[in-house]
Amino acid sequence: MVINVDIQFLGAAKMVTGSNYLITTDNHKILVDCGMFQGNEEKEKMNYMDFPYDVTDIDYLILTHAHIDHSGRIPKLVREGFRGKIVCTKPTADLCEIMLLDSAKIQESDAQWENKKRLRTGQDFVEPLYTIDDARESLKYFDPYFYDQKINLNEEISIRFKDAGHILGSAIVEMWAYEGGEVTKVVFSGDLGMPGRPIIKDLEFIDSADYLVIESTYGNTNHEPFKDSTEKLIEIINRTALRGGSVIIPSFAVGRTQELIYELNKYYEYTPDIEEYMRIPIYIDSPMAVNATEVFQKNSSSFNYEARELILKGDNPFAFSNLRYIRTQEESMSLNKSSYPKVIISSSGMATAGRVRHHLKHNLWNPDNSLVFVGYQAQGSLGRILLDGASKVKLLGEEIDVQLEIYDLEGFSGHADQKTLLKWIDRFKIKPKKIFVVHGEEDQSETLAHLIEDKFNIETIVPNMRDKFNISKDDIELKKGINIEPILLQQDIENELENVYRQFGALVGRSGMLYKDKIIEKNYDELKNKLIDLQHELMDLNILLSK
Ligand SMILES: [Zn+2]
């Protein structure tokens, strides 16, 4: 018997955006990610093209994480007839709610802007890629799970999420395809994070795979340690403040901004003897970042140990005395009226849109100011242009001199670097027989692919857009039936469940919550899933009671 699975690459092939892979088995079609193409006009046009498959045929969309280059075309997918389920982790579902609505708002206002221009020249109007209503409608299809829960999608496919350590909720997808008693395992790395980051847990290692699809955003780059970047950032802020300047930080509203807040909270609250005048105001100027911070707080049961401990101790890591959250446009505009030193953290992270462009317009010319990049800058984006040393840029209809100091703090990157990617592959106990290298500019992907071949002697493929591969018997012989995961016995799980119920029992009196009925599932997977659900609920309850 041969497992008949096709994988087709329909985005993030020799580029970093537009993630979208189609998995076809005998009876089912499944997507992994449905992201938006981003970076410049040419790429953005690709968002308007028809999906290269019949969307009504798709049973499931498996979503690795909430970033728009992985989730951004979901509202379009639903509007065009997708009626399956969008399976992802719970924090990803919560983050998508704000990210997709925000994305829709941008689509609507871009179309409005374009139509104003077209009205003057008598051209036909354009439609937005999708509307706020489309985005809201698409949220109904989300079906969230926790990490480690086994999800049986249908008789041919099961999946499980592992923590990718990239942003809150980000997942590696383990996918098992079954046919005639045979099983093939495909692993999708999603976006992998750097270990040792604030708030979220480290990326998890995977034991085995027959095939691997791996990202390569930094396949040709190594980052400096996160700690060095944090120290540099604080040094830049202090140095800029002392000469009377302000610091502008274009930052992704979801993830990076919360990490910055978390680190600044640690600095301002736990460093003794900071002079009062050095506590310059830190503004978070992005309504989405404000909303995202709320979603983070709601999902603290998924945080790493340090962050959970801070919260249980009673410190809110997203609040300190000189931190201000800005919501309205008026407040945002007024930030540039005063020349008092300050830090403005604003989106978008690549300065391609959003409020940060206003702040750049008002601050680029002043040599006392600093501009700090804390994330990936795609080719063609304003961020990349500034980083490459442009002396003048066109911004909101004006040509602006670039005089301020520009820094690139690579250590903040949310993506695993070359060393981390290779180590992650090395930790597979049973190595994949073939590795598809995706989600990177071509030179990054090619470099990583060559390194993998040299180091592990594994065949690699850097697919082109629309390339399709069949996993068939002609392939190198499949290693199957080796289960090397440490298996908890059903009895262990039942004991652990008893333990969790006991802890609930001790807390319900204080919380006023109803005691939960014990449900003992028969099926091993369901039992384990239930245990994971309850462990999260228990943590949430602990956090709630600690406040
Ligand atoms: Zn990402």
Note down pLDDT in tens along the chain; length 547 residues.
556 889 999 999 989 899 999 999 989 999 999 999 987 788 889 999 999 999 999 999 999 999 999 999 999 999 999 999 999 999 999 999 999 999 999 999 989 988 999 999 989 999 999 999 999 999 999 999 999 999 999 999 999 999 999 999 999 999 999 887 788 999 999 999 999 999 999 999 999 999 999 999 999 999 988 999 999 999 999 999 999 999 999 998 889 999 999 999 999 999 988 999 999 999 999 988 989 999 999 999 999 999 999 988 889 999 999 999 999 999 999 999 988 999 999 998 999 888 999 999 999 999 999 999 998 888 888 999 999 999 999 998 999 999 999 999 988 888 999 999 999 999 999 999 999 999 999 999 999 999 999 999 999 999 999 999 988 644 544 343 344 455 677 788 888 888 888 888 887 766 555 555 565 666 888 888 988 998 998 888 888 887 6
- DSSP SS3 for 173: strand
Report the distance separating Cα 492 and Cα 520, nearest Å: 13
- Residue pair 19/166 in contact by the 8 Å Cβ criterion: no
CB 164 within 8 Å of CB 193: yes
Distance of CA 98 to the CA centre of its chain: 13
Q: How far apart are the first and last CA of the chain?
A: 57
- How far, in whole angstroms, is CA 78 from its chain's centroid? 21
Amino acid at residue number 183: V
Distance 10 CA to ligand 1 centre (A): 17
Distance 34 CA to ligand 1 centre (A): 12
Cα(67) to centroid(ligand 1), Å = 5
Q: From the CA of 12, how far away is ligand 1's center (Å)?
A: 11
DSSP three-state, residue 517 = coil
CB 171 within 8 A of CB 136: no
Give how far Cα 183 sits from Cα of 179, 252, 271, Å: 6, 39, 54
CA of 509 to the centre of ligand 1 (A): 41
Strand partners, 472: none
Q: How far is the CA of 400 from the centre of ligand 1 (A)?
A: 31
Distance 65 CA to ligand 1 centre (A): 7
CA atoms within 13 A on the CB side of 121: 8
Cα 414 to averaged position of ligand 1 atoms, centre (Å): 8
- Ligand 1 center–CA 536 separation, angstroms: 24
How far away, in angstroms, is 192 Cα from ligand 1 center? 8
pLDDT number for residue 168: 96
DSSP single-letter state for residue 47: G
- Give the phi and the psi of residue 210 in degrees, each rounded to 5: -85, -40
| Single-letter residue type at 323 | L
475 CA distance to ligand 1 middle (Å): 31
Expressed in angstroms and rounded, the spacing between residue 448 Cα and the centre of ligand 1 is 18
Q: Is 544 helix (H, G, I), strand (E, B) or coil?
A: helix
* C-alpha of residue 70 to centroid of ligand 1, in Å: 7
Nearest to 77 by CA among 58, 63, 94, 104: 58
Between the CA of 17 and the centroid of ligand 1 the distance, in Å, is 9
Cα 71 to averaged position of ligand 1 atoms, centre (Å): 10
Q: Please name the helix (run of DSSP H) or strand (run of DSSP E) that holds residue 521, with its range, or none.
A: none
Which residue is listed with tokens 């028809």?
50
Cβ-in-10-Å burial (0-12, 13-18, 19+) of 518 comes to: exposed
241 C-alpha vs ligand 1 centroid, how far in Å? 32
Centre of ligand 1 from the C-alpha of residue 191, in Å = 5
Identify whether 301 is preceded by a cis peptide bond (ω within 30 of 0).
Answer: no
Distance in Å, CA 193 to ligand 1 centroid: 9
- How far apart CA 240 and CA 235 sit, in angstroms, is 8
Instruction: List, as own/partner pairs, every contact residues 523-527 make where C-beta atoms lie below 8 angstroms and the sequence separation is at least 24, other chains included.
Output: 524/490, 524/493, 525/149, 525/150, 525/152, 527/490, 527/493, 527/494, 527/497
Side chain identity at 120, as an amino acid letter?
Answer: R
Please give the distance, rounded to the nearest whole angstrom, from the Cα atom of residue 215 to the centre of ligand 1: 10
Q: Distances from the Cα of 374 to the Cαs of 229, 230, 249, 347, 410, in angstroms?
A: 9, 10, 7, 11, 7
Ligand 1 mean position, distance from CA 162 (Å):
15
CA distance 455 to 430: 15
Q: Which two tokens stand for residue 532?
A: 């994971």
Q: Among 191, 88, 177, which residue's Cα sits nearest to residue 416?
A: 191
**For residue 32, how far is its CA from the centre of ligand 1 (angstroms)?**
14
What SS3 string covers 455-467? HHCCEEECCCCCC
Query: How far is it, in rounded angstroms, from Cα 347 to Cα 287?
Result: 9
Is the distance from CB of 203 to CB of 196 less than 8 angstroms?
no
Query: Is 14 within 8 Å of 484 (Cβ atoms)?
Result: no
How far, in Å, CA of 351 to CA of 204, rounded? 31
Q: Count the neighbouring beta carbons within 10 Å of the beta carbon of residue 512.
A: 6
Distance 166 CA to ligand 1 centre (A): 7
**Ligand 1 geometric centre to CA of 238 (Å):** 30
Q: How far is CA 245 from CA 13, 182, 355, 408, in A?
A: 41, 64, 19, 18
Which neighbouring-strand residues pair with 430?
208
- Calculate how far, in angstroms, residue 21's C-alpha sits from the geometric centre of ligand 1: 15
Specify whether the backbone of 471 is left (phi greater than 0), alpha (psi in -120 to 50) or beta: beta
| Separation of CA 155 and ligand 1 centre (Å) | 30
What are the residues whose beta carbons fall under 8 Å from the beta carbon of 82, sequence distance 6 or more? 55, 56, 58, 61, 141
194: tokens are: 């750097």
Calculate how far, in angstroms, residue 148's C-alpha sits from the geometric centre of ligand 1: 20
| Cα–Cα distance list, 20 to 31, 38, 40, 343 (Å) | 7, 13, 19, 37
State residue 474's pLDDT score: 46
Q: How far is the CA of 447 from the centre of ligand 1 (A)?
A: 20
Q: How far apart are CA 192 and CA 413, in angstroms?
A: 11
Spatial separation of the C-alpha atoms in residues 403 and 364, rounded to whole Å: 6
Q: For 326, how many CA atoms within 13 A lie in the half-sphere containing its CB?
A: 23
Nearest-angstrom CA–CA distance, 97 and 92: 9
Q: How far is the CA of 350 from the centre of ligand 1 (A)?
A: 13
pTM of the shown model: 0.88
- Measured in Å, residue 269 CA sits from the centre of ligand 1 at 30
